[in-house]
Amino acid sequence: MSISIEEIKRPENIVYGRPALLTDNVMHYCPGCSHGTVHKLVAEVIDEMGIQDKTVGICPVGCSVFAYNYIDIDWQEAAHGRAPALATATKRLCPDKYVFTYQGDGDLASIGTAEIIHACGRGENIVVIFINNGIYGMTGGQMAPTTLLGMKTSTTPYGRDPKLNGFPLVIADMIAHLDGTAYITRQSVHTAAAARKAKSAIRKAFEYSQKGIGLSFVEIVSTCNSGWKLSPVEANKWMVENMFAKYPIGDIKDVLK
């Protein structure tokens, strides 16, 4: 005897669901990419806090340029690197809103360094979600400021050489020195446990942004299995073994602790 899906979908059977704020659009991200998981966590936090009508998201240029297609809130699409400037004005003009930027490492750590540093310096009451996968994903795997030494990318085909290409930029540690930052944490989403912690961090960042105590910054050390030329499973392993050494997981600053 068979049982229909409708019979199974009874409230007493449902222990987990897709967040209501994720749209039905099919995500363009590669299988194994961290973006999809982080999008889901952000959507869950906004949903659970009941702040859909009070939230404005700012998209970057990079793989997550189309984040606005996936989370059902109002969005602004910024020029490359400029999201913190848009967020600054949005938050100052609409202080009751929850304002967050969602940026990759090419966007935030390279072309957008002035905007992120000064948003931190001014203590803007915004949330920054920073996806750090050590590579430019959308343009086809070029070196990012966060690329590890020795790491091969399309513009460091023999591995990143500090004499040629300089050293990786560790943004979260840099901005921790600034008085305008309130909460800085580094997380990952490669296991269910890690994703749960990342979600708590995102929620805390959103809550802090309404306290008037400065900028909250959640770095997610992420995989780019396409750019890294690894399978999703191998990419997770490579991240744990290599990325975590340079970008260790955990809270870096919390002014309320």
Partner 1 sequence: MAEKILMKGNEAIAISAIRNGVDGYFGYPITPQSEVMETLMKEKPWETTGMVVLQAESETSSINMIYGGASCGKKVMTSSSSPGISLMCEGISYIAGAELPCVVVDVMRGGPGLGTIQPSQSDYNQIVKGGGHGDYHNIVIAPASAQDMYDFIDWGFELAFKYRNPVVILADGIIGQMMEKVEMHPMKPRRTQEEILEVAPWATTGKPAGRERNIITSLSLDADIQERFNRKLKTKYDLIEENEVKFSEYMTEDAEYVFVAFGCSSRICEAVVDELRAEGIRAGLLRPITLYPFPTAEIARLAKQTRSMMSIELNLGQMVEDVRLAVNGQCPVGFYGRQGGNIYTPEEIVDAFKKFNGLA
Residues that bind partner 1 (CB under 8 A): 52-56, 58-59, 65, 68, 72-79, 82, 85-90, 92-94, 97, 114-115, 117-118
Shortest distance in whole angstroms from residue 95 CB to partner 1: 9
Cβ proximity to partner 1, 78 vs 129, nearer residue? 78
What gap in Å lies between CA 73 and CA 116, rounded to an integer? 23
Shortest distance in whole angstroms from residue 16 CB to partner 1: 23
Cβ proximity to partner 1, 57 vs 168, nearer residue? 57
Cβ proximity to partner 1, 70 vs 130, nearer residue? 70
Tokens representing residue 77 in the block: 């699409």
Shortest distance in whole angstroms from residue 138 CB to partner 1: 11
Shortest distance in whole angstroms from residue 163 CB to partner 1: 30
What gap in Å lies between CA 227 and CA 235, rounded to an integer? 10
Cβ proximity to partner 1, 99 vs 194, nearer residue? 99
Cβ proximity to partner 1, 67 vs 143, nearer residue? 67
Cβ proximity to partner 1, 47 vs 234, nearer residue? 47
Angle of the 113-122 helix axis to the 83-93 helix axis, nearest 10? 30
Q: Name the residue among 222, 173, 172, 170 with its Cα closest to residue 198.
A: 222
Output the CA–CA distances (angstroms, integers) from residue 146 to 211, 214, 215, 254, in the order listed: 31, 25, 21, 23
Q: Name the residue among 27, 87, 88 with its Cα closest to residue 57.
A: 87
What gap in Å lies between CA 217 and CA 220, rounded to an integer? 10
Cβ proximity to partner 1, 114 vs 164, nearer residue? 114
| DSSP three-state, residue 105 | helix
Cβ proximity of 188 and 220 under 8 Å: yes
Shortest distance in whole angstroms from residue 53 CB to partner 1: 4
Shortest distance in whole angstroms from residue 1 CB to partner 1: 40
Query: Which residues make beta-bridge pairs with 143?
Result: 135
Shortest distance in whole angstroms from residue 172 CB to partner 1: 20
What are the residues whose beta carbons fall under 8 Å from the beta carbon of 58, sequence distance 6 or more?
75, 76, 77, 78, 83, 84, 86, 87, 90, 99, 100, 101, 102
